[in-house]
Structure 1
């Protein structure tokens, strides 16, 4: 089997190219793609519970903690006690973080616009159907369920 013809290889290679592209832009702003992703997932008005951010982005708590610490040191976010749940913490954007969030959003919009200008709406629709099906198969554990190894 040629790796170039496997679905997982195509997904991984494409995601690596996208991540590299975003990181090349983020570095110009003393940031990373991961930081931009976090900024885009924080509710800009109310903040977001720290415990909700990881699952929202499919990120492990350890990785997220490191990123949040770095973002706090850079002055993009701050932590505030959650008024609803006194045990929890809300992650909120500073004015600087909001500015960085807006910059990140512009890059995401530009990427999506450019892709949509170069791929038909039918193909985009198929792409989303394929990724949804793959995610559903994974969630149902329907891929390796019947595979037996020694």
Structure 2
């Protein structure tokens, strides 16, 4: 890869991260935490993930968030204490645990959807299509890079 391409990639990634921080951390999370005051910074996104999946194994949440197992266990414990989620044993494999939303967690999840709709109400279908396609490409490339990275560590 030539230096100009690498420079462009790095600058675009930095700008993407800054915009992501502005939209999701400063807007999305602040709105949710202002309504559900007892949630910590990352908990609204975990609630959103659980809500989208319905029932989910904690390891899958870890895949989406990049959280370590111990941190994730503490977060799910905390969300359970706050009445947002509950755990149950997978009926098909009793060794697995599934996490689901309670009614209170579902209220929060529905509120996250309202905020997401507000944030993206001005984006047209073509932009959404392009965005999804670019995310799929980025994730594919990052997975290749991550798989290669683990060979060197």
TM-score tier (shorter): 0.7 to 0.9
Out of 5, 15, 23, the position equivalent to 2:20 is 15
- Verify the 8 A CA contact 1:22 1:33 in the aligned structure 2: no
- Counterpart Cα distance in 1 of 2:125 and 2:105: 34
* Matched ranges for 1:1-150 at <5 A: 6-18=11-23, 19-28=25-34, 29-30=36-37, 31-32=39-40, 34-42=42-50, 47-114=55-122, 116=123, 121-141=125-145
In the alignment, structure 2 segments of 5+ residues that lack a partner are none
In the alignment, structure 1 segments of 5+ residues that lack a partner are 146-150
Aligned length: 139
Deviates more, 1:88-97 or 1:122-131: 122-131
TM-score by length of 1: 0.73
State the Cα deviation string for residues 99-145 of structure 1 (Å, max 9, x = none). Answer: 1111112111221214x1xxx55555444443333322222239x98
Give 1:43 shift: 5.2
Alignment RMSD (CA, Å): 3.1
